[in-house]
Structure 1
Amino acid sequence: MASLALQIKQWGLELGFQQVGITDTDLPEAEAHLENWLDNNFHGEMDYMQRHGLKRSRPELLHPGTLRVISVRMDYRTEAAAAMNQSLADPTSAYISRYALGRDYHKLMRNRLQKLADKIQAEIGSDLPGSMRAFVDSAPVLEKALAEKAGLGWIGKHSNVINRKAGSWFFLGELFTNLPLPIDSPAAAHCGECRACLDICPTQAIIAPYQVDARRCVSYLTIELYGSIPENLRPLIGNRIYGCDDCQIICPWNRFARLTDEQDFSPRHRLNTRQLLDVFAWSETEFLAKTEGSAIRRIGHQRWLRNIAVALGNAPASALIVDALKPMLNHDSDMVREHVQWALAQHQSVINPK
């Protein structure tokens, strides 16, 4: 098994993962943290976080027979994405979280994990039947806790996994297995007294170290929330129309972040340089075409317009913005109309000049 574990890590690197670690399924501390988080209703409308009971923190309940979890990480920061701080600083630009600029990572990583499972099964042969199942943010899995325990990094105060040599710009994936592989040592935490991520959060969603109230998080508000964005939080969102990277941008450990060679993660359709008025003008057909194969498509056209309307409301007063917003007052969606009305109200100096 020790030899097989070394082989698995080598195969993982060959398949494009930057690191592979192995851990057991014992997650009592993570389970307690999750239950406390849910008890405080920090999950908001993400009902799926509690729908599966203990399956999330007890892998053997999700995939019977699981003894070990093979945890992997894959860098996604591209050179184009690395230059996006300028876009965040320009209130007329459309800021999209860097992870979503290219191809949806779920299918790509799951396919790689399945190839890893196939290699493992071929190596052990039929005399030792392996039971393996791949997950990439697609089932109730405590992927961050597993990654930390497998030595891939520690969970930072912003709740993302940080690696001392690679920062935090990476995706996680898991392979559950019944093979009694030797396990790796957990990663030690290295946040120290730093609280940069707490201070930079635009909506102060990180209410305490290691405690994120998702109901205030820009990523939750622009991606997970189905209805209206609370009015008191709209001005704080700025020009972020899909997700938020502020806590990662400010993290000092990301000075060690590496650029990926994975071409599928490169920005598509110039999503890293779009203007708000440009993407607001997309019809539903255009939206579906330009987000094909992208994680962005999951929010649908109405929430896309909702998010951009808020960003346009936060942009400097402009007759061009007002002209773009007014026709959307006739949109079929009550939600879209509500956010457009709010955005127009922010431009009163243009609409009703003194």
Structure 2
Amino acid sequence: MKLVNTRINTPTGQVAVGVGVGVGALVAWWAWRRSTANQLPTKWEEVGVVSKLNVYPLKSGRPVSVSEADATERGLSADGALDRSFLVMKKDGPLLTGRQVPKLTRVAISFKGHKVTFESPDNPAGPIEVDLELVAKEAKVVELIVFGANAKGLDCGDEVAAWMSQAVSAGETPVRLLYNGEDPLTQRCARRAPYYDFRHIRDSDKVTYADTCAYMLASESSLVDLNARLAEPVTIDWFRANVVVQGSAAYDEDDWAFVRFGGEGEQSVVLRRLKPCDRCIFTTVDPYRGCKTADQEPMTTLRKYRLLDGPEKLAKAWSIKPVFGSHMGIDVCGKVKVGDKVWVARASSNPRWHF
């Protein structure tokens, strides 16, 4: 953007007119950007169908696979299960994920009304039930930091805390279980990186306990391509995707700026790509065995062909972090179902949509 100066012989006049025109140009540019920021694409391309929907009510826990879900501003929700609305933290300490306690990935969760059941093959005591009405009534609020942001949760009690400690660490690490559900105590904004300006992240993008954003999208074809390079194949559960697409070309999702679900002309749900999903050591956790792979797969293989080569600043920051799938925000909430058609607007068709 250039600021245009109109020259007048007096120094005072020159500065006054130059700044006036410059501010006018700045205001016009800001008004244009604001007016176009929330506009949805008008041209869509059909690329496949939704093949899987996963809700992860417990952060780092087992997924709840559903045939349909509400796509909310904080993630998928189905039958009372809201994505990443429970988390495990050390007693009087930081949050814990499958990176620190891989057995957390084997903890399953199910809902029946206001009662929630947890079970794990790593706790011989069997399942345990938590009454969320009682949790809300007792209202023991705990404050914590989630990836640099302040957050809160309702403590779910001593009994389930002891059960969870046994499930994730054989009782060696005392933990607490927190809940932040349908009526949130706090909401966090999608996490912005200090090393790069992902300009499609907005202040309106909210999360509960998710690392970065409300949605992670991946494709079956990309997984097939990866598995063709691996000695032992992995499943999509290793990548913890909320929405899985079938029928598109491998890694075609790298070019999807917007994703819409439903029939032609419908706009039931629209997701907006915030950034590529950069992968960390969590990808090496086998979610069925609850342990890290000895050969650090599939990360080792992904690093051979899925590291960014640009933009330079981001490629440097992610020099050992391959990308797989996309982090998404939401522009239109609604219902999404397995079998829904998937329509996309490509980043390559509009320079404003590039990350």
Give TM-score scaled by structure 2 length.
Answer: 0.25
Larger Rg: 2
Q: Tell me which protein shows more strand as a share of its residues.
A: 2
